Amino acid sequence: MTSKRESGGPSLSLGKIPIGVLKSTVLRMTGAQSDAIATPPEAGLDFAAVKLNSGYMVVSADPITGVSEEIGHYAIDVSANDVATSGNRPQFAESIVLLPEGSTARDVREVARQMHSEARRLGIAIVGGHTEVTPGLGFPIVAATVFSFVESFVSSRDALAGDVIMMTKSAGLEGTAALARHSSLSGRVPTGAILRAQGFRARMSVVEDSVAAFQTGYVRAMHDCTEGGVLGAVFEMSLASGLGFVLREDAVPVANETRLICEALALNPLKLIGSGSVLLSVKRGREARVARALDQVCKVTTIGEFTAKSRVLVKKDGGEETVISAPEDELWRAWPAHLRTSPRLGHHGSRNS
């Protein structure tokens, strides 16, 4: 009989691999050493920064690994968001588009149109890439690498104990948009709420949020809320910075549409994939200045603080829960089988985050 050890151990769950596995494998195998690396690969980082003769190159890559009618939009937004958490506008992109057998020129044109449209809206020039029809795929995979040349940046590893945690917009935006297309919601959530929730994809960019916050000079670190939602992002940010945190559940803004859908499916909105919201580590006492800077961009809310000790979630009932690991995303739990074949779901994960 083959043991789990001999076979490589138990199968991994859907989504990003556990941080312990990431650290013992991928993050130990990073090729040649270079003194030009300003941000060594770590769990919880959104991007890499490479030193140049003047300034830095900030770069991030992410795949969209579930099919979506808006897969090109997702591909640009997700990697652009990672670069934007440096405090800088994304400037350039390359793409890899892998299409299943049977795809047509029309399919290629539609993916390219979506990437072109979103990149142009964000001021990103697409400078190259690779497109092919690939055997064995059940759905397209689109990956984008986005990069910028910058003078300075912040990252998720720069938070300090005592900093206030603020977040833009509301929890679970991307997950809400995806779940709103789930047929099981019919009759359980008002039709108007479902239609509004489907429109949440338009809120997925954090470029304006991040740039406006960085320009205040009071934001020490940023991290976007992707897989694992707000709770996952706070955990990853604390891990990257070597800190603890106190996160107050009742302070986290949740849109009514998100609340209704999560209640119908028995999901926790704090653990729902949330591209479109960015976490800010703000120097204590400067929250009002940051809020004013974002006033014309989006809503921003104080949800907790970073500490030097344990990682604690303060529940709505006043109880406390110690957070020992990043949570599994609620989207995977909602659709454990359906996710593999959904014609409408976009999903992503990152080497660093």
Q: How confident is the prediction along the chain (353 residues), in pLDDT tens digits per residue?
A: 455 545 677 888 777 788 889 889 998 999 999 999 999 888 888 899 999 999 999 999 999 875 567 899 999 999 999 999 999 999 999 999 999 999 999 999 999 999 999 999 999 999 999 999 999 988 899 999 999 999 999 999 999 999 999 999 999 999 999 888 876 788 899 999 999 999 998 999 999 999 999 999 999 999 999 889 999 999 999 999 999 999 999 999 999 999 999 999 999 999 999 999 999 999 999 999 999 999 999 999 999 999 998 999 999 999 999 999 989 899 888 765 444 444 333 344 333 44
Q: Are residues 102 and 180 in the same domain?
A: no
Please state the separation of Cα 54 from the chain's center in Å.
29
Whether the Cβ atoms of residue 55 and residue 193 lie closer than 8 Å to each other:
no
Q: Are residues 143 and 179 in the same domain?
A: no
Q: Are residues 174 and 311 in the same domain?
A: yes
What pLDDT does 68 receive? 64
How many whole angstroms separate alpha carbon 294 and alpha carbon 298? 6
How many whole angstroms separate alpha carbon 76 and alpha carbon 90? 10
Tell me if residue 62 falls in helix, strand or coil. strand
Q: Are residues 171 and 140 in the same domain?
A: no
What pLDDT does 351 receive? 36
Residue 278 lies in a domain: yes
Q: Are residues 205 and 316 in the same domain?
A: yes
Q: What is the CATH number of the domain that holds 328?
A: 3.90.650.10
Helices marked H in the chain — which ranges?
19-24, 71-84, 105-122, 173-179, 191-198, 207-214, 229-241, 256-265, 287-293, 330-334
Q: Are residues 123 and 170 in the same domain?
A: no
Q: Six-digit token pair at 209?
A: 């949020």
What pLDDT does 341 receive? 40
Residue 23 lies in a domain: no
Q: Are residues 201 and 311 in the same domain?
A: yes
Q: What is the pLDDT of residues 234-288, one digit of tens each?
A: 999 999 999 999 999 999 999 999 999 999 999 999 999 999 999 999 999 999 9
Q: What is the CATH number of the domain that holds 51?
A: 3.30.1330.10
Q: Which residues of 130-145 are buried (b: 16+ CB within 10 A; e: fewer)?
A: eeebeeeeebbbbbbb
Residue 226 lies in a domain: yes
Residue 13 lies in a domain: no
Q: Are residues 128 and 72 in the same domain?
A: yes
How many whole angstroms separate alpha carbon 280 and alpha carbon 257? 24
Q: Are residues 143 and 170 in the same domain?
A: no
Q: Total structural domains in the chain?
A: 2
Residue 257 lies in a domain: yes
Beta bridge partners, 130, equal: 96
Domain stop point among 97, 122, 150: 150
What pLDDT does 44 receive? 80
Domain enclosing residue 256, as ranges? 164-334
Q: Are residues 120 and 238 in the same domain?
A: no
Please classify residue 264 by burial: count the beta carbons closer than 10 Å to its beta carbon, then call 0-12 exposed, 13-18 middle and 19+ buried: middle
Beta bridge partners, 281, equal: 165, 221
Tell me if residue 136 falls in helix, strand or coil. coil
Residue 20 lies in a domain: no
Residue 19 lies in a domain: no
Find all residues with CB under 8 Å of 104, minimum gap 6, and list them: none
Domain stop point among 115, 150, 185: 150
Whether the Cβ atoms of residue 72 and residue 115 lie closer than 8 Å to each other:
yes
Residue 108 lies in a domain: yes
Domain stop point among 150, 176, 201: 150
Q: Are residues 63 and 136 in the same domain?
A: yes
Q: Are residues 117 and 230 in the same domain?
A: no
What pLDDT does 336 receive? 52
Residue whose tokens read 């959904």: 342
